[in-house]
Structure 1
Amino acid sequence: MSEQPDLIYGVHPVMEALKNPKRKFYSLKASKNAADRLAGEIAAAGLTPEIVHPRDLDRQLGSDTVHQGLLLAAKALAQPRLDQIEKSGVVVLLDQVTDPHNVGAILRTCAAFNVTALVATARHSPEGSGVLFKSASGAYEHVPYVKVTNLARAMNELKEYGFHILGLDSEATALIGEAARTPPLAIVLGAEGKGLRQLTRDTCDEFVRLDLDGPIKSLNVSNACAVALYALTR
């Protein structure tokens, strides 16, 4: 293998990967119970699993890993260029969101709302990892995860393709429900604490905030993503 394979564990991530016709598989380790549970998907993918004891996977992945008796090694998915992203819906951009749990949860939300792509910087964002795949619960197989070198440059390129770019900011004057929703549309989410960087802010077309009535006006970034996408797509 010339590149690092995706190591995917857990029932839902492995099941969705096995059903993805774009995937090339290297190997599958599975407990007897897990192999029986996904027997149909494993057979359809043309794989013969190596039956192992769950403790073998504990030793390989760590005792705290919730692998559910499954570990799949697969070729990393090819991702589209910015000019290949569909322009029929919403694109989510992440400005240095580094926690793989958060990015995985955001991918899951993006799949639920039929987001056309998730865009993040190659640096200061998590690589494809078992933690990200597990948190995404299979959504990684359905949402293009596009890595770019420079986020502001990528935003300007998306503008050339007709995208209107919203920046989510708890201090913004306009409510997200008041924003223009005609596709192609993109929304940028910043890291917790730091928010959007200045160059990212300078490149946004407008800023919007969530309509929150409570005393706390900011949310975890994955929760904010879910509320924002609901507001933009309902």
Structure 2
Amino acid sequence: MTHSQYIFGFHAITSRLRQHPDSIKEIYLDTNRHDQRARDLMSLAETTSTRLILCEQDRLCKMTGTTRHQGVAAHVTKLRRYATLEDLLEGLTEPALLLVLDGVKDPHNLGACLRVADAFGVHAVVVPKDRAVGLSATVHKVASGAVDTVPFFAVTNLARTLRELKEMGFWVVGTAADAPDTLDSVTLTRSLAWVLGAEDGGMRRLTREACDLLVSIPMSGSIESLNVSVSAGICLFETFRQHSQRTGSGLNVPAPKNAV
């Protein structure tokens, strides 16, 4: 059975049109939008032979469940590029980089995490099926197209998935405010799964115990913690920087067996 949903916002819909036009059933545009963004979208829809329907604001609100739809919505089929995470990893020819989010429930945070994942070359984002937000219309809008570029996997048992990744040669590194090692002291130049916890309580106990290493983000201000998407951006940038340089200083983590 083909699953479908509505997404909204110009960035999200334009990205889907460019990346996967065949997945769009139709686009709904506010009859009062006559600006350049609307004209560009109409032109792109025509180029891709995508049906575009003009409609009223009320209809858009009912479709999306929000008034913040920017005057555009699209009825789309859900993308399934890989059947499993293992399928994706088997096709990689470079060190793998994953972002694992344990219990993130705010769609704005998930959307922002997908954006930074796209920016720093993450191969997939992994979340638990339960007690976490999925790929809602709000996530699509906030992610600004990253939902279409970063594979997303919701797994039944997150701790078990982390153990399986370790067996595949991943280092599983989590963030924790009380961790003795800091981000700037760790070498991050091999296949890696970053694990970040929920907005309120952090990682669950079993998730934390599944990590090979815990690190803290060094901070000098009075704020004790950072938003999960900000933390993800910091950790992924440092990983990106080290992978680019292929050098590092400080804590040298032993090379895992059967590295991906």
TM-score (norm 2): 0.83
The residue that corresponds to 1:15 in the other structure is 14
Query: Superposition pairs for residues 46-125 of structure 1, below 5 Å?
Result: 46-62=49-65, 64-80=66-82, 81-83=84-86, 84-85=88-89, 86=92, 88-125=95-132
Give me the whole-angstrom Cα distance separating, in 2, the residues matched to 1:189 and 1:23: 34
The residue that corresponds to 1:24 in the other structure is 23
The residue that corresponds to 1:231 in the other structure is 238
Report deviation, 1:93. 0.2
Q: CA distance change for structure 1 residues 177 and 93 in 2, over 3 Å: closer, same or farther?
A: same
Q: Mind listing any 5+ residue stretches in structure 2 that lack a counterpart?
A: 242-260
Task: Give the AA of the match of 2:216.
Answer: R
Are the counterparts in 1 of residues 21 and 50 from structure 2 also a CA contact under 8 Å? no
The residue that corresponds to 2:196 in the other structure is 189
Report deviation, 1:23. 4.9
Give me the whole-angstrom Cα distance separating, in 1, the residues matched to 2:141 and 2:235: 23
Task: Give the AA of the match of 1:220.
Answer: N
User: Quick check: 1:43 aligned with 2:42?
Assistant: no
Are the counterparts in 2 of residues 191 and 221 from structure 1 also a CA contact under 8 Å? yes
Provide, for residues 57-76 of structure 1, a one-character-per-residue CA deviation record: whole Å limited to 9, x for no partner. Answer: 134434x5321221111110
The residue that corresponds to 2:175 in the other structure is 168
Are the counterparts in 2 of residues 35 and 49 from structure 1 also a CA contact under 8 Å? no
Moved more, 178-187 or 164-173: 178-187
Secondary structure, aligned partner of 2:172: strand
Report deviation, 1:183. 2.4
Report deviation, 1:169. 0.5
Are the counterparts in 2 of residues 79 and 146 from structure 1 also a CA contact under 8 Å? no
Moved more, 76-85 or 116-125: 76-85
Are the counterparts in 1 of residues 175 and 216 from structure 2 also a CA contact under 8 Å? yes
Provide, for residues 24-46 of structure 1, a one-character-per-residue CA deviation record: whole Å limited to 9, x for no partner. Answer: 22221113536522133212332
Moved more, 170-179 or 77-86: 77-86
Determine which structure has more spread, i.e. the larger CA radius of gyration. 2
Secondary structure, aligned partner of 1:66: coil
Report deviation, 1:3. 4.4
Q: 199, 202, 206: which one pairs with 1:199? A: 206
Report deviation, 1:175. 0.9
Are the counterparts in 2 of residues 190 and 196 from structure 1 also a CA contact under 8 Å? yes
Q: CA distance change for structure 1 residues 44 and 163 in 2, over 3 Å: closer, same or farther?
A: farther
Secondary structure, aligned partner of 2:51: coil
Report deviation, 1:89. 3.7
Report deviation, 1:122. 1.0
Give % identity: 33
The residue that corresponds to 2:257 in the other structure is none
